[in-house]
Structure 1
Amino acid sequence: MKTNISLFRTTVAACALGLFAAAAAHAADTISVVTFGGAYEAAAKKAWFEPFTAKTGNQFATESYDGGLAKLQAMEQAKNPTWDLIDLETNDAITACDEGLIAKFDRASLGSTSDFLPGSLSDCAVAAMVWSTVYAYDTSKLKTAPSSINDFFDLKKFPGKRGMRKSPKVAMEWALIADGVAPKDVYKTLGTPAGVDRAFKKLDTIKPSIVWWEAGAQAPQLLADGAVVMTQAYNGRIDDAVHKDKKPFKIVWDAQVYDYEWWAVVSGAKHADAAQKFIVSASTPQAYADLSKYIAYAPPRKNAIALIDKARLNDLPTAPENFKRPLQIDATFWADNADAINKRFQNWLTQ
């Protein structure tokens, strides 16, 4: 009888140890995440990754990219996803959801969502922040301060190179606004062959002076190196250079093109459960407010605003002083037209 009791106790202990080991192994899952890198990834680590690791034991293996779905589509075709969590621009989030490249997201896991900004939740993704594409200049190198998007295209008044992301997105919108199209009419115009022609014709006026960049971190570096006098950039990257690197850069907010950034779980991800739990953790009002401490991106939840230092609010894209003539990117337009316009853009680059 004692032998049986002893054996029973040993078996129970072994089972408990096994369950503990399994739980520990699960808690130690490493989430593979792809982001836009640079200052944003550094901020995400401080605001979100490190607190989540401290709470759950889950580590993060990070990889940088500059958007697009080609690699994600290749993973789906091979049925071998190596990413768990992906950082997406809006039009890519729409397309990825439609193509089944990212998993459906359980909104109920977020609790109450009444304070999320309109359009900041989708079937497959949750907005991580609000960011803007702006342009910036070095105040120590320009005697006259540019103040509008027209100045970006004015090589006579402001001679010198311009940095631009190697993409038709935003470049096309800016070209039309600088050519006299009201922000509210940009996509109506761009949705016509004549509108596309008009945008490229305006871009032709500065094409020889453009220095193209492909990663967000390159924009402030081009400015710092003096390779350009103005550069298109993500607002958070310029703010980071100003506050952390003490660069004499200034943002021109006119015609800022703002958008949401999104978190999504890759379909078939090996650590899908941990990735979803991370998104929930990073989507609380406090977590959104914490991100703004490290980079000037705005929260997509109203309840986060009260948690952000008032002085910091002035650095965000949505601050009233910065939000006088904005344009919200039409993600549906780009989801529908990106392939055709990008093909023409690539041809234009070689002409």
Structure 2
Amino acid sequence: MQHQRNAHDKTVAAVGDNPTPIWGMSVRERLRRIAAARNLAAAPSTEEAAILANSAFVFDPVWMAHIEDQPGTVLTRDGVPVLAHPANDEQRRLVLAAMRADEALGHGRGITILRAEDERGIFNEALRKRERPFAERLTPATVRAIERASYVGAYKGVTDLLTKYLWPEWAFALTRIAARLGITPNQVTALGSLLCIVATVCFWYGWFWTGLATGLVFMVLDTVDGKLARCTITSSALGNAWDHGVDLVHPPIWWWAWARGCAVYGVPLDDRTFWLVIGTMLVGYVAQRLIEGAFILRFGMHIHVWRRFDSRFRLVTARRNPNMVILFAAMLIGRPDYGIVAVAVWTAFSLVVHLVRLVQAMLVRGGGRPVESWLA
């Protein structure tokens, strides 16, 4: 008799065990966190679970979301089942036998097999990239490679040039250390928030090099907290709101403090220039955010993933990190006032680009053509 399940029977069970830890936690604990993030409960036994996970392997959490609503689907690596959502008891017996024997799963019986080795990827809208989620056999020898794959999988594909090219390795090393020491993402965010305030004070008093150094550490930690949360499956509503809240609020405060600090440094902006710079940056910053939000509401995706140009422009658009590059360059010639004026000009230019792209997308939709991401 087939064991019947309904849409509310969302349970997960691990098959076998594995003593090798990953990101400072056991395979079973990692599975528990992945399941909890998807509102999936632990099943009393493998015979009663809706989803089965082979403890000999670890997989990107995106795979759980991918097969959760696809009964009869099995993810394999080298033919061996890694993650399975059996549609009936016969499929369950076949999957369990293959997992326990560490053997390849045969085709047929209505099973849809997803091979982790396949080249086709999955578009992850949240991280703005097309990716090939990992699913790998976990042994002591493969831990570091898997942790790197997990870390890379948590990285946004479309982001600024510093986050993408300068400090991925720094952040990876810090993320591994934090995971092993049991440091939580919120603790990293708290330290980063403190450094953000310190950098603001430094800019205000014209201590620009100290502020830039402090801001650099903060910006790296701003990457680490999110990667740590994703890699250790410890994201929380509080942490997400805190991190994004700090990211949203502090940039214009930094620019204001920098403009104020120019006077202390000895290269003050005249009143007209000061307020023109501040007004341009504030209006430009808020307007760009509103345009990005409007694009998401209207087209269901980030403006930065519409076409290849948008993804490339995201590398340098007037966000905090590219603006900090401009300010750093200005300090190399000892003219922080030139830097803040350049940031205002670049902010205005970036605003125009965003506005033009929004209008162009609306015209494309109005002409009956779909507005789709080039990454999809």
TM-score, length-normalised on structure 2? 0.24
Max Rg structure: 2
Higher RCO, Cα 8 Å, sep 6+: 1
When you count strand as a share of all residues, which structure comes out higher?
Answer: 1
